[in-house]
Copies of this chain bind each other. A is one copy, B any other.
């Protein structure tokens, strides 16, 4: 094992498994043969070809009725979130979300001075009855709840998958309360085994605004994501997106289109699934082997992350520096919580790290956590 730092912090996809030489040749061909299109301004909604192909990607994700006309391509799905908050929320409006949730979404929503409110969940995701109670309580306080932001498949950071049997009820509760569901599904195809659960959007075209991304199944450096928008909201959403970036990068769209057309992209997804499964298993085995009493963790069925819980009273933020001294990096839990207070949780990412290094990272982390538990 090399002496360097083991980073279990960043949720980067493992790009080493992409065919880089061939992709380079494809990029060259696009510029040489279609450069006047690739390097020029394009339409604000994105190319029709890529929007049509995105509908095929969403079909693989479990959405069978998507219309390219309701797809808006964005500069990564981060930008699609930003536009959703901009279009649907005023300062003080409430966005409900899982706690923990994606730090980038918290940053986006807070920039609009939105009131982000956590909804309680368990190892199977949001609990419908508690969602209903939370909505009632907030409405009783006079709050205007506009969106439920959720990552139902392999939540970042928790790795939790929303149970299939809870899904329709959650949409129904939101529909009754006039709350739009903002479903963020970047990891949907990266379930390790078995059948993919249907997205919330699948059976609910008017109630769910669905966010997708090529960052986890292809290449985040291209910044190509999308929104599938309910038909009655599409025009507003599209114009707002156009006002933010004018158009998504044309060259990048053509490169993604070629990848979807001429490469075995589903084969690459299968490669990723088994790669990430192997890494997740290695991480979980190492946790079993090394973690001290008092630490518990999630058992993800897909995605990039495992979420650790330490005993109450321990703040994982100062442990970050002790971890670095011990040669391992993680992300403290506070970042992922709307409360942003001290947190006894932390996130480990297995996506970018080979199994032997994952094991070494956990081996280094264990005494740091054991010391903190002993001192607690």
A225 to chain B, nearest CB (A): 10
Give A10 to B42 CA distance when docked, in angstroms: 11
Q: Do residues A221 and B41 form an inter-chain contact, with CB atoms below 8 A?
A: yes
Q: Do residues A27 and B18 form an inter-chain contact, with CB atoms below 8 A?
A: no
A215 cross-chain contacts in B, Cβ below 8 A: 41
Give A25 to B252 CA distance when docked, in angstroms: 16
Interface residue? A86 (CB, 8 A): yes
Instruction: Please name the residue on chain B nearest to A90 by beta carbon.
Output: B91
Sample of 19 more A-B contacts, CB < 8 Å, known A24-B31, A28-B28, A37-B221: A12-B40, A15-B35, A15-B40, A16-B36, A18-B35, A20-B36, A21-B32, A23-B35, A24-B32, A27-B27, A40-B219, A75-B223, A78-B246, A82-B244, A82-B245, A108-B244, A111-B243, A220-B250, A222-B251
Copies in the assembly, this chain: 2
Give A103 to B75 CA distance when docked, in angstroms: 21
Interface residue? A104 (CB, 8 A): yes
Give A20 to B32 CA distance when docked, in angstroms: 5
- 11 A-B Cβ contacts within 8 A? A18-B35, A23-B32, A25-B28, A27-B31, A39-B222, A40-B221, A42-B221, A78-B244, A79-B245, A86-B111, A249-B249
Give A13 to B41 CA distance when docked, in angstroms: 9
A25 cross-chain contacts in B, Cβ below 8 A: 28
Q: Do residues B221 and A39 form an inter-chain contact, with CB atoms below 8 A?
A: yes
Q: Which of A40, A75, A79, A243 has the most CB of B within 10 A?
A: A243
Instruction: Please name the residue on chain B nearest to A112 by beta carbon.
Output: B86
**CB < 8 Å neighbour of A24 from B13, B29, B242:** B29
A79 cross-chain contacts in B, Cβ below 8 A: 75, 244-245
Instruction: Please name the residue on chain B nearest to A41 by beta carbon.
Output: B220
Q: Which of A27, A76, A110, A215 has the most CB of B within 10 A?
A: A27
Interface residue? A127 (CB, 8 A): no
Q: Do residues B18 and A39 form an inter-chain contact, with CB atoms below 8 A?
A: yes
Interface residue? A239 (CB, 8 A): yes
Instruction: Please name the residue on chain B nearest to A13 by beta carbon.
Output: B40
A236 to chain B, nearest CB (A): 10
Given the known inter-chain contacts A220-B41, A249-B223, please indicate yes or no for A24 contacting B30, CB distance below 8 A.
yes
Q: Do residues B245 and A223 form an inter-chain contact, with CB atoms below 8 A?
A: yes
A144 to chain B, nearest CB (A): 16
Q: Which of A29, A220, A222, A246 has the most CB of B within 10 A?
A: A246
A20 cross-chain contacts in B, Cβ below 8 A: 31-32, 35-36, 39
A221 cross-chain contacts in B, Cβ below 8 A: 37-42, 249-251
Give A21 to B104 CA distance when docked, in angstroms: 38
Interface residue? A320 (CB, 8 A): no
Q: Do residues A41 and B12 form an inter-chain contact, with CB atoms below 8 A?
A: yes
Q: Which 9 A-B pairs have the closest CB atoms?
A: A221-B250, A24-B31, A39-B219, A28-B28, A24-B28, A24-B32, A20-B35, A27-B27, A39-B221
